[in-house]
Chain A
Amino acid sequence: MVSIDVWNASVDFPIFDAKSRSLKKLALGKVGGKIGSEGRVPIIEALHDITLSLKDGDRVGLVGHNGAGKSTLLRLLAGIYEPTRGNSRIIGKVAPVFDLGVGMDPEISGYENIMIRGLFLGMTRKEMEKRVDDIAEFTELGDYLQMPLRTYSTGMRVRLALGVVTSINPEILLLDEGIGAVDAAFMAKARDRLKDLVKRSGLLVFANHSDEFLIEFCDTAIWMDEGHVKMHGGLREVLTAYKGHDPFERISPELLARLGHSSPVLSGNGGE
């Protein structure tokens, strides 16, 4: 059973190389986590008192201003950061797609990168070898997979990363903002695959600023603000509160038509 539970978790970063003097000014700023200065080492409170419970089939959109703690929350949910206070429990195989540059070596070929990323996500070499053809087909990169990764465009890297994570049956899929860089045609393909993935009893948390992406992939949402969960509920309510208008009024007719038959879950809106 896949689930992520977080109890009153806080994530505080010690900043060892900052002079606390200059940080006093920073603390007045509005962007970023709260900066504490008790003790000798200044601390950035990136996340504060987060309590969450996500389970099988949840598709959560993550919204908030820059520095609100979205990426940090994703890393907390991935188990990369263990909470400095509070507790967390992650059950299931996590596949994060955060920074596309990381875990990919620009000097080696696309194939090699697929292999390494797969191994990092807990696959064996044999399992990955079986999937390589499937990934090659899905990413449509063809002969480019023989080329070193440095010759790839951003969109091509996104394709590769998405190809790997969607091929390995991750139980928990965590996506950060970067994946918006692919073209519409590929997105349509990735959408089908991601939807398929979520259907196969996965859990998706997706940080994005685009209404269209969120409406397409998510049914609930979390609004992060200054390291707190400001609101957690149905996608429509949260987006309306966050953006100040109902996003469903502005989406394109095509998207609406597509959602009409592919995603009936939106009408529920209240979570579950």
Chain B
Amino acid sequence: MQATSTLDHPEAPPATRSRSFKRAFADVREAWDHRELWGHLGWQDIKQRYRRSVIGPLWITISMGTTALALGLLYSVLFKTDVATFLPYVTVGFIVWNFIVGCVTEGTDVFIANEGLIKHLPAPITVHVMRMVWRQVLFFAHNLVVYVVVLAIFFTSLNHDYQISENGPVHPGLSWTIVLAIPGFMLLAVNAVWVSLLFGVISTRFRDIPPVVNSFINLVFFMTPIVWDAGVLQRVTGGDDDGGWRMLIAELNPVYHFVEVVRAPLLGHAVDWHHWAIVGAFTVGGWFAALVILRNYRARVSYWV
């Protein structure tokens, strides 16, 4: 018995298809409109993690502080550098790295982890990404406390020109350029969004990606000048040239440039504009790739999770 009367048939299908850039942009825009939602959820995640612990989110700061202290002391001895300039360097590098690694590893997992919400509540998928990035931003803010403390202790060694490693570049010392860290970090966060959109969607379809990313990210850590100074690459040549091909070890690593746009201003290093240019190029290219993925596979995510 077919009772579907003619009355129930709508006239004509609309022209809007689910695979269009319009819908991809709409997803990102709506996610931005939902900022109260992911803002709240991001805070909730942090509070949740430290619920019933006595000092709560202060643990984030403490663990960063101890790690930075230990790494700074160890590597300043290993590289025979001055702890007063090297410890702040390692601290800031590690704080920025922590943000990057958090966004990348949790970014690959962002839709898989939110399977329940995606399948039960209609919301733009970018909301889940924004929540994750916002949570990482809050972690970063907690870790900045360590930076402030380190800065207070070693201020006198950083407020004039200094060298981190022998024969390395001379840094001009802290100045107004410190405010450049703000646009630097904003660029970093904007990039974090596309990275987790892109890798999040791909990882939801191909579940091998998260373990691959997790195992390679440690390698990236050692390849990136965080616990070692890029100036070391020049020193091995005895300072005769500007480092030659060895500099490529750092220069070809995109993470280095992202670290540098935030770290250099915070430490009073010379802000080299080629870092900004490369980060800018990555921002444009990455967002384009993410939007293409979003256009084609946004609607598939709820099927794949």
Across the interface, which residues of A come within 8 angstroms of B205, CB to CB? 16
What sequence of 0s and 1s flags, for each residue 96-134 of chain A, a beta carbon within 8 Å of any chain B beta carbon? 101101110101100010011001111011000000000
Smallest distance from the beta carbon of B44 to chain A beta carbons, Å?
7
Q: Given the complex, which residues of B lie within 8 Å of A112, measured CB to CB? A: 44
Q: Is B244 an interface residue (CB 8 A)?
A: no
Contacts of B183 in A (CB 8 A): none
B7 contacts partner chain A, Cβ-Cβ < 8 Å: yes
Q: Number of contacting residues on B, CB 8 A?
A: 36
A213 at the interface (CB under 8 A from B): no
Instruction: Say yes or no: A102 contacts B9, CB within 8 Å.
Output: no
CB atoms of A96 and B8 under 8 A apart: no
A108 to B17, CA, bound (A): 39
User: Is B8 a contact partner of A79 (Cβ separation < 8 A)?
Assistant: no
Q: B117 near A13 (CB under 8 angstroms)?
A: no
Q: A53 near B: Cβ within 8 Å?
A: yes
Given contacts A7-B10, A108-B48, A116-B41, contact A96 B121 (CB under 8 A): yes
Beyond A82-B299, A87-B13, A112-B44, is A103–B120 a contact (Cβ under 8 Å)? yes
Indicate whether A107 sits within 8 Å of B117 (C-beta atoms), given known contacts A7-B13, A238-B3. no
Cα-based distance from A86 to B1 in the complex (angstroms) = 24
Flag the segment in A19-27, A180-188, A229-237, A258-266 that touches B: A229-237
Return 30 A-B CB contacts under 8 Å, by A number: A7-B10, A8-B13, A14-B303, A14-B304, A16-B207, A16-B304, A51-B4, A53-B8, A80-B120, A82-B302, A86-B13, A89-B14, A96-B120, A101-B116, A102-B116, A103-B116, A103-B120, A105-B44, A115-B40, A116-B41, A119-B41, A120-B37, A120-B117, A124-B36, A231-B2, A231-B3, A232-B4, A233-B5, A237-B3, A271-B7
The 4 tightest CB contacts between A and B, nearest first, are: A233-B3, A82-B299, A119-B37, A102-B116
Interface residues, chain A, with chain B CB atoms under 8 Å away: 5-8, 13-14, 16, 51-53, 75, 78-84, 86-87, 89, 94, 96, 98-99, 101-103, 105, 107-108, 112, 115-116, 119-122, 124-125, 229, 231-233, 237-238, 241, 271-272
